[in-house]
Amino acid sequence: MSFLYVYERSAKIGVQENCVVVESKKENLKRILPIEGVENVIIFGDASLSSNCVKQFMERDINLTWLSSRGKFYGRLESTRNVNIYRQRKQFACGEDDEFCLALAKRIILAKVKNQITILRRYRRNRPEKSVQKIIDAMAKLLPIMERVHNKDELMGHEGMAARYYYQGLAELVEPDFAFSGRNRQPPRDPFNSLLSFAYTLLMYDLYTAAVNRGLNPYASFLHSIRRGHPALCSDLMEEWRAILADSLALYVTSKGIIKRENFEKPNEEGGVYLDGIGSKAFIAEYEKKVRGRSNYLAYVDYSVSFRRAMEMQCQRLAKAIEEGDPSIYQPVVIR
């Protein structure tokens, strides 16, 4: 099964003879894919769909996500086939249980920081003239402190400190052409932050789909604060994957010259910096290669799975922890 990304200008999407057809007269392009192999469709920009296409997607349980050309979320179209109200009622109850939330949040945040440390260790080999050991040591000292916290506010305070250290480390390791001074967003104000934001958007809606397919409510979280219109559970689930799939991808495409400075549009009126069409296509292609890559990082199985499959299995693992009211069942991914 595959994700179909539609980024062609004024594209029209339809279903003909058991195939999904994407056409764009502006770009003189036509893509045809067997519908049986499509699991999700993600639209960037102003594509349109036929009513028959919408019906076919609903009947076949193909989710559709609309984003702006710069990754702003507009909404989703999905069937109700996977809605599990009984599981969601338990999810809401666990979300009101401070003990459950803290225990789960600790596991997720500790895994996140450990993964960040591993990424810094891996990529410092590419920049031997730079030293991030002091940053790694400072982050490592925070791990036992986070294990002993008594509430989420304390945990997130230490996580914020670890994040500041981490982005200082990333700033040392990125290629000189992509130098940045730290994380910024909404809008991203430099090319490397733009890549991070784009990767986080792609990851967010991968996890959104995985959560919905497992009968979870993507807006009911345990770690992040809930707010109107924000899929906070997906923000929870993203934490262990950010460094593994998004940060490492941004480092990879810039170090290998896959994405270059000229692939970015000039800052807009708000000061935001974004990939152009060519850069977006190249970055999405590399993201797909990344999430389809296989690993043995899941602690509870003895075989390799793709990262996308691992995200699905982690959502199922979370569902089991919710069903049994036991946060220790959830085992976040920790890379080596």
What token pair was written down for 82? 């996977």
Whether residue 269 is annotated as binding a ligand: the answer is no
What is the structure's pLDDT at 129? 64
334 belongs to a structural domain = no
The residue ranges of DSSP E strands in the chain, in sequence order, are 2-6, 12-16, 19-24, 29-34, 38-44, 48-49, 63-67, 73-77, 294-295, 305-306
User: pLDDT > 90: what percent of the chain?
Assistant: 63
Domain match, 145 and 57 both: no
What is the structure's pLDDT at 119? 95
Domain match, 147 and 50 both: no
Domain match, 61 and 172 both: no
Whether residue 159 is annotated as binding a ligand: the answer is yes
What is the structure's pLDDT at 193? 93
Which of 53, 77, 101 finishes a domain? 77
With cut-offs at 50, 70 and 90, classify the pLDDT of residue 229. Answer: confident
Domain match, 101 and 54 both: no
Segment 317-324 mean pLDDT: 97
With cut-offs at 50, 70 and 90, classify the pLDDT of residue 336. Answer: confident
Top pLDDT among 265 and 115 is at 115
- The pLDDT of residue 269 is above 90: no
Q: What is the largest CA-CA distance in the chain?
A: 60
Which of 77, 96, 116 finishes a domain? 77
Domain match, 21 and 150 both: no
Domain match, 299 and 322 both: yes
Domain match, 11 and 92 both: no
335 belongs to a structural domain = no
Whether residue 239 is annotated as binding a ligand: the answer is yes
107 belongs to a structural domain = yes
178 belongs to a structural domain = yes
- The pLDDT of residue 110 is above 70: yes
What is the structure's pLDDT at 105? 97
What is the structure's pLDDT at 329? 97
Residue 324: give its domain's CATH number. 1.20.120.920
Region of poorest pLDDT, from 52-66, 107-121, 204-218: 52-66
Sign of the alpha-carbon dihedral angle for 7, 8, 10, 15 = negative
Domain match, 48 and 152 both: no
Tens digits of residue pLDDT in 25-80? 777 778 888 998 888 899 988 888 888 898 989 888 898 888 887 778 888 888 88
Residue 60: give its domain's CATH number. 3.100.10.20
The SS3 assignment for 291 reads helix
266 belongs to a structural domain = yes
What is the structure's pLDDT at 117? 97
Domain match, 184 and 242 both: yes
Domain match, 35 and 157 both: no
**Total of domains in the chain:** 2
Domain match, 193 and 311 both: yes
Q: Calculate the average pLDDT of the chain.
A: 91
Which of 77, 94, 125 finishes a domain? 77
| Nearest alpha carbon to residue 9 among 31, 29, 36, 34 | 29
Print the domain residue range for 55. 2-77
Top pLDDT among 86 and 68 is at 86
Distance CA 12, CA 6 (A): 9
Is 0.85 topped by the overall pTM?
yes
- What is the DSSP annotation of 108-157? HHHHHHHHHHHHHHHHTTT-TTS--HHHHHHHHHHHHHHHT-SSHHHHHH
Domain match, 149 and 285 both: yes
What is the structure's pLDDT at 201? 92
